Amino acid sequence: MSAKIISGNEVSKQLKDEMKEEVVKLKAQGMEPCLSVILVGEDPASKVYVLNKKKACEYIGIKSLETRLPATTTTEELLKVIEGYNNDKTVHGILCQLPLPKHIPETKILRAILPEKDVDCFHPFNVGLISIGEVRFLPCTPAGVIELIKRGGFETAGKDVVILGRSNIVGRPLSNMLDQRDMNATVTMCHTKTKNLKERCAAADIVIGAIGRPEYVKADMVKEGAVVIDVGINRVDAPGTEKGFKLVGDVAFDEVKEKAAAITPVPGGVGPMTIAMLMKNTLTAAKEAFFKK
């Protein structure tokens, strides 16, 4: 029997509808949440992401500001834009779309955003808060994974979870979040140098693919009845199709779904959740700014 499909499209819609109702109540109190997005350069994927974020803001009722800068923008020019938004009390969240042009140091830019407006949760201060269990924001993609697990009704307490990938954006923060007291999972974070990788995955109750390799997780790496969350999104050649390529995850979906109890698709799985959690962080930032006045 094929696995249950965990739809990020459906769960993200539920979340956005809940936030939409909350924004109506906040506006009635005189507060309008606002997200500012900065896009540097002409990266096609980044343009799509920014457009989707703008649509999510419009749906929920969050004010959306956007600054587009040429790829020739200097680090100093970008820092001035960020400083302006940092000082603007009507702006609650600031997001600088990645990747940046190679001549601009990402670390310097991300750390320039005030921690209380860091709705991507990349600032070391906010990351540090997570590690000690005092959360302000949660990184958007890991938070989306957690939400899919929770709303899917999948138990994590006492379960063995394997995360494939140790990036600072997904693997590391997700590991930290899953072993907190509200989740109580036993987490193993694997990577390309991990020994007996296949055996470790095959013993896990929950497998999370975030390794950036197309269809890397095969059926023989997953035990019967496991929950599989696919964070990856990879473009692979698909001759004969309209676009000449297709999007696949880090999991070989067609074969793994025959063994797993539940699995996320690509696209339509974790991706929509990332944007939903960005909206949630923006709302959190707005409430924090408004109610501490």
Residue 87 has, within 13 A of its CA and on its CB side, a CA count of 6
Report pLDDT digits (tens) over 213-229.
Answer: 999 999 999 999 999 99
Cis geometry, peptide bond prior to residue 239 (ω within 30 degrees of 0): no
DSSP string, 154-174: ---TT-EEEEE---TTTHHHH
**Residues identified as active-site:** 53, 97, 120
Report pLDDT digits (tens) over 232-272.
Answer: 999 888 888 878 888 999 999 999 999 999 999 999 999 99
Assign domain 30-117 to a CATH class: alpha beta
Q: Please, which pLDDT band fits residue 181 given cuts at 50, 70 and 90?
A: confident
Report pLDDT digits (tens) over 67-123.
Answer: 999 999 999 999 999 999 999 999 999 999 999 999 999 999 999 999 999 999 999
Across the beta sheet with 262-263, what order do the strands follow?
Answer: 4-5, 262-263, 227-230, 206-209, 160-164, 186-190
Assign domain 140-270 to a CATH class: alpha beta
Report pLDDT digits (tens) over 11-55.
Answer: 999 999 999 999 999 999 999 999 999 999 998 889 989 999 999
Asked if 236 and 214 count as a contact pair (C-beta separation under 8 A), the reply is yes
User: Tell me, what DSSP letter sits at residue 40?
Assistant: E
Domain spans, the chain: 30-117, 140-270
